[in-house]
Amino acid sequence: MQKTLTSNYRTQAPRKDWFYVKGKHDSLNANDLRNLDLDLPDSCPMCRKAINPEFLGGYEFKLYASTYYKLICACPNAECLEVFIAAYEEDHSFREIRLQGCAPFRHNQEVFNDAVQSVSPDFVKIYNQAKHAEERKLDTISVV
């Protein structure tokens, strides 16, 4: 594993509510990925197709008592080929690495027939907003 060490401190960022965290960042390669007990995403966040993503690289960093992993992946679907980042967090108490999400993320709108759209255009709008919230795991506002 290639190591890159920097000092561990916060610096002021352009906005008052932002800060940069400098700490220990370790790059990851395919061999390191095999040693980690984590699953790559099984669908592309852009095209929504079931995939076995191509691992391009990544890094891990430790912040306080947590370890985070950012993996750069590519969609192998010939119609997509988008690159995305899969973010993981290691739960040290359970010895488990969980997928937190992927970015970027493209929301696909549900298309309704003309009859539904003409009867209730608000339903179509509310449905698609709730679907988007559910896809983003915003479970408090997606209960429609």
Contact between 8 and 24 (Cβ < 8 Å): yes
Give me the pLDDT at residue 78, please: 93
Task: Give pLDDT tens digits for 76-126.
Answer: 999 999 999 999 998 777 778 888 888 887 777 778 888 888 888 888 888
Strands (E) located in the chain:
3-4, 9-12, 19-22, 25-28, 54-63, 66-74, 83-91, 96-103
Tell me the mean pLDDT in the region 36-44: 86
Dist. CA 108–CA 59, nearest whole Å: 30
This prediction has a pTM of 0.64
pLDDT value of position 11: 41
Q: Is 25 left (phi over 0), alpha (psi -120 to 50) or beta?
A: beta
Assign 23 a pLDDT band (cuts: 50, 70, 90): low
